[in-house]
Amino acid sequence: TKTISKCYVQVTGMTCASCVANIERNLRREDGIHSILVALMAGKAEVRYNPALIHPAAIAELIRELGFGAAVLENCGEGDGILELVVRGMTCASCVHKIESTLMKTNGVLYCSVALATNKAHIKYDPEVIGPRDVIQAIKDLGFTTSLVKKDRSASHLDHKQEIRQWKRSFVVSLVFCIPVMGLMIYMMVMDSQLSDAHTHHNMSSEEMQALHSSMFLEHQLIPGLSVMNFLSFLLCVPVQMFGGWHFYIQAYRALKHRTANMDVLIVLATSVAFVYSFVILLVAMAEKAKVNPVTFFDTPPMLFVFISLGRWLEHVAKGKTSEALARLISLQATEATIVTLGPDNVLLSEEQVDVELVQRGDIVKVIPGGKFPVDGRVIEGHSMVDESLITGEAMPVTKKPGSTVIAGSINQNGSLLISATHVGADTTLSQIVQLVEEAQTSKAPIQQFADKLSGYFVPSIVAVSVVTLFAWIIIGFVDFEIVEKYFLGYNKSISAAEVIIRFAFQASITVLCIACPCSLGLA
């Protein structure tokens, strides 16, 4: 018997099925080449050859001569089939040993491990020698029932509906409370500008200004130190902080628990500090029975949460769109196949319905009119028209006759066909496309990795900058109070200089946090 070896060659530059046919046709003529299978999407050729007559480097050279790029793949383990089974009826460790030892003795099984606790078996096999149905049969012969681990064909991991709902809710809650806050803010700004105009034209004293200011409805004090404006802002801010920011708090907590800082941490920091600072300042003002209303930052959290939850919501909608395309692709795959046994002269002896995952290479599969092709293969018998628009985009049906290749997922139209399976499971064109799209979604562009790395340093550095701002202004204030006086307008003359400085320093540092918070780099 001549020994047959197997090698894999990475082929680049193939554009369509005719390239595949070209390579296969030309290599089959060569001495020492037993068989060749080329997968277009994976860009891989599996060659079985006689090592006495030809070696892999020469095979790659032959493909190169046809005008394609070719390189021999070193790790040949990729051709192994992997099977995950659920095995029922095992009672103890000896059952496990019995299954494992029997399977390991079976020709073609490379590795087998059975877990009693989960009733699962993990088997690696050589698809040239043995197939999943033979393995299942071997386990059944030992007296156990077994079935495939059901693959999740619904692609529920691609579903972004829940996140979309969650961020939409978050956005709506924040928006409902943000609009009145913005209204109050704009009203205050307009009134302020009118006041300052009056001030410049009528040369009022600042005491008269104060009097005018507090006569405005929103500045009216409900109790000393608490104005209508601040009270309303506080009421509107609480629900946003609680409900609008809920998901941010959870994610920020998780990030901090793992000692990392992400954007959520900044958002939570900025909003919480703004909220807590404003709240404390109000309490202090009420305790002091202050005549002048303190400057609060209750408008910051609602506005930040609105913008950011809108961003997150749109992001998940976009993700959902790409994933939808993937889920549609996955749903194109057939779930069952009809396998037939042929006698001499292609006489049908028997046929059985099996799960697609159980189709082995070399099986004869019958596809009826209107049926989907479960696997990639070659037509052995029958003539038909096939709709391959899912792969090629070509609406016109393609004629298939014995020797033609067919693609999994395409639809058979008018004649019944018998095909011999060439690519099964994860090797079919459709599976390869799905895999490529999934990989494209999970892999990051280098610039994105760089940005992620940067934003890892971004958060701590912003926090550091705002702390530096705080201390810098405190020091400046105690060294030269006039600078603070120049920038801190409308502070109450009745409070002590130290308090003015600390309040101003706090305002400055919170401003730094709030401005840097939506981290445009991270968002972009």
Pairing between β-strand 81-88 and β-strand 120-125 as defined by DSSP bridges: antiparallel
Query: Which tokens hold the place of 378?
Result: 């070659």
What is the C-alpha end-to-end distance of the chain, expressed in Å? 64
Helices assigned H by DSSP within 443-480 = 446-479
In this predicted structure, the answer to whether residue 310 has a pLDDT above a threshold of 60 is yes
Highest mean pLDDT out of 157-161, 262-266, 300-304, 399-403: 399-403
pTM of the entire predicted model: 0.58
Phi-psi region of 203 (alpha: psi -120 to 50; beta: other; left: phi over 0): left
Phi, psi (5° rounding) for residue 63? -65, -40
Can you give the pLDDT at residue 215? 58
Q: What domains does the chain contain, in order, with CATH numbers? A: 5-73 (3.30.70.100), 81-148 (3.30.70.100), 157-323+445-516 (no CATH), 333-429 (2.70.150.10)
Is residue 167 within 8 Å of 312, Cβ to Cβ?
yes
**Cα(357)–Cα(152) distance, rounded to whole angstroms?**
12
Within 8 A by CB and 6+ apart from 419, the residues are 364, 365, 367, 373, 375, 377, 378, 379, 380, 406
Torsion angle, CA of 383/389/394/396, rounded to 10 degrees?
A: 40
DSSP H or E run through 137: helix 132-141
Nearest Cα to 219, choosing from 524, 490, 495?
Answer: 490
Q: Which residue has the higher pLDDT, 28 or 289?
A: 28
Q: Tokens 């292609």 appear where?
A: 346
DSSP string spanning 311-355?
HHHHHHHHHHHHHHHHHHHHHTS-SEEEEEEE-GGG-EEEEEEEE
DSSP H or E run through 266: helix 263-288
Query: What's the pLDDT tens digit per position in 368-398?
Result: 999 999 999 999 999 999 998 888 888 899 9
For residue 459, which amino acid is it?
V
In this predicted structure, the answer to whether residue 89 has a pLDDT above a threshold of 70 is yes
Compute CA distances 137 → 108, 207, 365, whole Å: 14, 97, 19
In this predicted structure, the answer to whether residue 173 has a pLDDT above a threshold of 80 is yes
Can you give the pLDDT at residue 203? 65
**Cα(315)–Cα(320) distance, rounded to whole angstroms?**
9
For residue 7, which amino acid is it?
C
Phi-psi region of 50 (alpha: psi -120 to 50; beta: other; left: phi over 0): beta
Beta pairing partners, 224: none
Q: Which residue has the higher pLDDT, 78 or 38?
A: 38
Is residue 417 within 8 Å of 367, Cβ to Cβ?
yes
In this predicted structure, the answer to whether residue 338 has a pLDDT above a threshold of 90 is yes
Region of poorest pLDDT, from 155-164, 308-317, 488-497: 488-497
CA 48 to chain centre: 39
Within 8 A by CB and 6+ apart from 75, the residues are none
Q: What is the mean pLDDT of residues 301-309?
A: 82
Is residue 143 within 8 Å of 88, Cβ to Cβ?
no
Rg over alpha carbons for the chain, rounded to the nearest Å, is 36
Query: Which tokens hold the place of 246?
Result: 């809920």
Helix (H, G, I), strand (E, B) or coil at 413: coil
**291 CB neighbour count, 10 Å cutoff:** 13
Q: What is the mean pLDDT of residues 29-53?
A: 86
Can you give the pLDDT at residue 471? 92
Mean of per-residue pLDDT scores for the chain: 81
Can you give the pLDDT at residue 116? 82
Can you give the pLDDT at residue 19? 83
Q: Tokens 């033609």 appear where?
A: 404
Q: What is the mean pLDDT of residues 103-123?
A: 88
